[in-house]
Amino acid sequence: SSLSERLSDMGKYAFDPEDAGESSKARGSSLRAHFKHCREVCHAIQGMKLAKAKKYLEDVLLYKQAIPFTKFTGGVGRHPQAKLLKSAGDKVRWPQKATKVILDLLKNAEANAEMKGLDVDDLFVKHSQANRAQKQRRRTYRAHGRINPYMSSPAHVEIVLCKYVEPVKKADKEVPKLTRKRTQQLRLKAGGGL
């Protein structure tokens, strides 16, 4: 089968890099880690260089750095480590399972980049996203013979690494040419002239 057919079988990503040859992807479906945690971890590594993102997630597993919780903040405690991250409301956590899952995906994307022959040192996390997956059902037993659902909230996670390009510098601001009338107004305001 041709390359385009194989790529279409791989599934769609929410983000398509402009230069597919200079990028690598990794994704996981129905991962048994909380969706809300996966979302916060993905958000934390977005835009980081690959080596920095890996080091950051490894530090999270060792409780040396924390994941700032910005969207799903209900019941999340405050912690002085959040000051280092300038986290809103100092709300941080160290989600172990989600961090391990996303670190594995980062390593997988890195291996995919090496297979393509890309320079791993130049890569950064262009896109990382977590979506809710179908919940898995269990049951819990309550008082008076009742039964309640006991659902898990898995996640679909995708990561795209791209080659880092230096941003283009803004051109020097051109001073607009003043009309004769405006020049005279400014001269009067400054107190020059007559």
Span 37-66, pLDDT tens digits? 999 999 999 999 999 999 999 999 999 999
Are the CB atoms for 81 and 65 separated by under 8 Å?
yes
Confidence of residue 13 (pLDDT cuts 50, 70, 90): confident
Q: What does the pLDDT read at residue 10?
A: 59
The pLDDT assigned to 86 comes to 83
pLDDT at 194 over 60: no
Q: Are 125 and 105 in contact (CB under 8 A)?
A: no
CA 108 to chain centre: 16
Is pTM beyond 0.85? Reply is no
